[in-house]
Amino acid sequence: MMGRAFVVTAVVLAVSLGVGILLLSGTDPEVPVSKPRHELNKVMDGLRARHPQHFAKFGLLTDAELLAVDAQERLRLHEPRGALLHPARPRFRWETPRDAVSYRLAVTGRTARVLFSKETNDAEVAWPPWQEPLAAGGRYAWRVHARTPAGQEIATQPFRVLDAATTKRYADGLAVILKEVEIGKAVVIGAHWALRFDLYLEAWNLVRKGGTGHLALLTSAWVRAKLGR
């Protein structure tokens, strides 16, 4: 946990000290725009012009958004968070207090009915293969009770599964990005496209493929912190 926190903090400090937390949208003539960000903005302008049905309201996240870091807690729930694509058989991952001796995982639906629970000594549990995938369009929450010598620590994280129409919109837009944009830029733009749908895991799977430049570095560090990777 300390190693990940150090990496994210180092990225934040480097960017903050170097450019004063740039808001690199390009709308303020007094704010300098990095060359990679400028090039990506030009690519986005082209995508919006050619495919307004997908990208008319889509823009890259700003540096200020990417520099926002969640407060560190002893028990942190990493995956799933945000949204998942359908069909969803999530893997639940959390970061443990060092003195934890066991855990109880519970997954609930909209009515708070428990859909799945498990006692475990591990900090990772997969959705059982014999259970149906979580329903498209559904909203859920998962909770971990960590047992420690001092008592219990509890953390809860909501998430949702995209409905069929939203899943298709995401997939169609991503297909356009990967087809029309050079791969080094496509993985960064694609990751930001995923983040607009709260698809943190999809964003991570894209940005780790090798995006380059300032924005790729910030995006990778931010998503890694969200997912505890």
Is 164 in contact with 156 (CB distance < 8 Å)? Answer: no
Q: How far is C-alpha 7 from the geometric centre of its chain's CA atoms?
A: 17
Distance CA 123, CA 101 (A): 11
Residue carrying structure tokens 């924005």? 215
Burial class (CB in 10 A: 0-12, 13-18, 19+), 179: exposed
Q: For position 11, what pLDDT does the model report?
A: 42
pLDDT, residue 23, reads: 32
Tokens 């298709």 belong to which residue? 168
143-193: pLDDT as tens digits = 999 988 888 888 899 999 999 999 999 999 999 999 999 988 999 999 999
Q: Which residues of the chain fall below pLDDT 70?
A: 1-34, 69-74, 212
Pick from 88, 50, 81: nearest CA to 225: 81
Which pLDDT does position 20 carry in this prediction?
38
Cα dihedral: 9, 157, 128, 228 (round 10): 0
Q: What is the pLDDT of residue 1?
A: 43
Rounded to whole angstroms, the Cα distance separating 75 from 228 reads: 11
What mean pLDDT is reported for the chain? Answer: 82
Check residue 106 and give left, alpha or beta (phi > 0: left; psi -120 to 50: alpha). Answer: beta
pTM: 0.76
Sorted by where each starts, the structural domains of the chain and their CATH numbers stand as 23-68+165-227 (no CATH), 76-161 (2.60.40.10)
